[in-house]
Amino acid sequence: MTTNYRRVAQLRTADQFRQHLADLGLELAFDDLIQSGDQSPLAQPYSVHGRTVGNRFAVLPMEGWDATPDGHPNDLVLRRWRRFGQSGAKLIWGGEAVAVCHEGRANPNQLVMNADTVDSIAHLRRALVEEHRLHYGQTDDLLIGLQLTHSGRFARPNDKKRLEPYILYDHPLLNPKFKLPHDYPTLTDDDIDRLITLFGDAAVFVQEAGFDFVDVKHCHGYLGHEFLSAIDRPGKYGGSFENRTRFLCNITAEIRRRAPGLQIGVRLSAFDLIPYRPGADGKGEPENFNGDYRYAFGADHTGRTIDLSETHQFLDLLESLDIRLVCITAGSPYYNPHIQRPALFPPSDGYQPPEDPLVGVARQIAVTAQLKRQHPNLIIVGSGYSYLQEWLGHVAQHVVRTGMSDVVGVGRMVLSYPNLPADILAGKTLERKRICRTFSDCTTAPRNGLISGCYPLDDFYKSMPEADILAKLKHPEAT
């Protein structure tokens, strides 16, 4: 089955794009003309904790499922990070998810931060800075963070296809969806205390490696995010809002004590929805659930409608902890990818988009704007822009110019077209053949045990043997 949503690449003029948005009933404003030069809204610097950051683009964290088994970067990781440096974006939000311990890896090839890997991860950061210097000269206006994580329910440390979950509570839908019995053991409070120490250990290495900030990941269904919905969990880490955020508060205290001067950021799934599954026609539909659904942070008790009350409370908490860097994302790639990374072509294990992907883009932008409006002191980074394709710069400029977000983050687009931010800032015509069309091969590949990369558009991946394997997996009838 293929979807028949109108392709963005066909919307060649601002009027056509505007009309299409109107047809969809979407209020997604954009600037018809992108400005370049020093006065461009996207070229404006901003400051955070006394540092000046040179423009309004960020590279979002993008992992490749390609590090060495013992958690070191290799040439593929190095290539990706160099390309992040080439992008022209002055904020590097996290680079990619890096586990605080082996058991917390989302796959056996995820980077791990420890005494053994700190030097090679420091080299990765230096390579990015060097690449940025080669292309743009100035580097003192770059801000670079590393994303620290524990994959929790989605840990696969030893085998790409085998979950070895660490869960906080019996989730009524996710336990069965991922074949966990309802009595599957949950992490104890002592286990959690030990993990907090591990985050502290890793943060010390992050500082040693020269990063400006550490992102304490709270998104996409991984452990940090699961705390926020741990309403049913007894004890000091579950139930009340205060208890569900104790993990973050304790990690923050640990980092401040052990790595003073290291800035802290949080990437947050600001809203979540009930898990989706393919319906009879292949299109995504919400799972059935009878009763109060209390497990989607940032949604109401139907699990189908956004409710940002607790999200606002969470951002208030961040401000009170003097955490000013916040990257907004949504949901999870494992159970509702369409709200997180809107795509025309879903990953092979997913479902056909239940809505025009532009709806998903507009949803993230609108939520981000609401959060920014109520929390003007935070530096807010938005996500989910890649599906805008030719219109990314137009929407980005409008968002930044009107204060709907401080920074525009770019994820998948950076894999196919790393220097898109630089081209937009320089007022160049975009190279259409490098624009990400959201084929989702970067997700389908790792879901099938392969390294991630842009197989359709990046010649480097196109020519790899993995590209043939992927093509056969996607189109078995052609073999």
By the criterion CB under 6 A, which residues form the site for ligand FMN? Answer: 60-63, 96-97, 147, 219-220, 267, 329, 341, 383-387, 410-413, 442-443, 452
Question: Do the beta carbons of residue 78 and residue 85 sit within 8 Å?
Answer: no
Minimum Å gap between C-beta 220 and ligand FMN is 6
Query: Taking CB positions, which residue lies at the least distance from ligand FMN?
Result: 411
What type of residue sits at position 4?
N
Q: Which is nearer to ligand FMN, 378 or 420 (CB)?
A: 420
Q: Which is nearer to ligand FMN, 175 or 440 (CB)?
A: 440
Bridge partners, residue 266, by sequence: 326
Judged by DSSP in three states, 268 sits in strand
Minimum Å gap between C-beta 458 and ligand FMN is 12
Bridge partners, residue 283, by sequence: 352
Q: Which is nearer to ligand FMN, 186 or 440 (CB)?
A: 440
How is residue 287 annotated by DSSP?
P
Q: Which is nearer to ligand FMN, 54 or 221 (CB)?
A: 221
How is residue 349 annotated by DSSP?
T
What type of residue sits at position 16?
Q
Q: Which is nearer to ligand FMN, 233 or 323 (CB)?
A: 323
Minimum Å gap between C-beta 97 and ligand FMN is 3
Report d(CA 333, CA 23) in Å as an integer: 28
Measured in residues, the chain has a length of 479
Judged by DSSP in three states, 51 sits in strand
Minimum Å gap between C-beta 411 and ligand FMN is 3
CA dihedral 63, 66, 71, 72 (to 10 degrees): -100
Task: Kindly report the number of other CB atoms within 10 A of residue 288's CB atom.
Answer: 8
Token pair belonging to 380: 């807010």
Q: Which is nearer to ligand FMN, 106 or 238 (CB)?
A: 106
Minimum Å gap between C-beta 461 and ligand FMN is 12
Minimum Å gap between C-beta 343 and ligand FMN is 8
Q: ∠ CA 467-419-34 to the nearest 5 degrees? A: 130
Minimum Å gap between C-beta 192 and ligand FMN is 21
Q: Which is nearer to ligand FMN, 66 or 254 (CB)?
A: 66
Residue in the structure block whose two tokens are 């879903």: 346
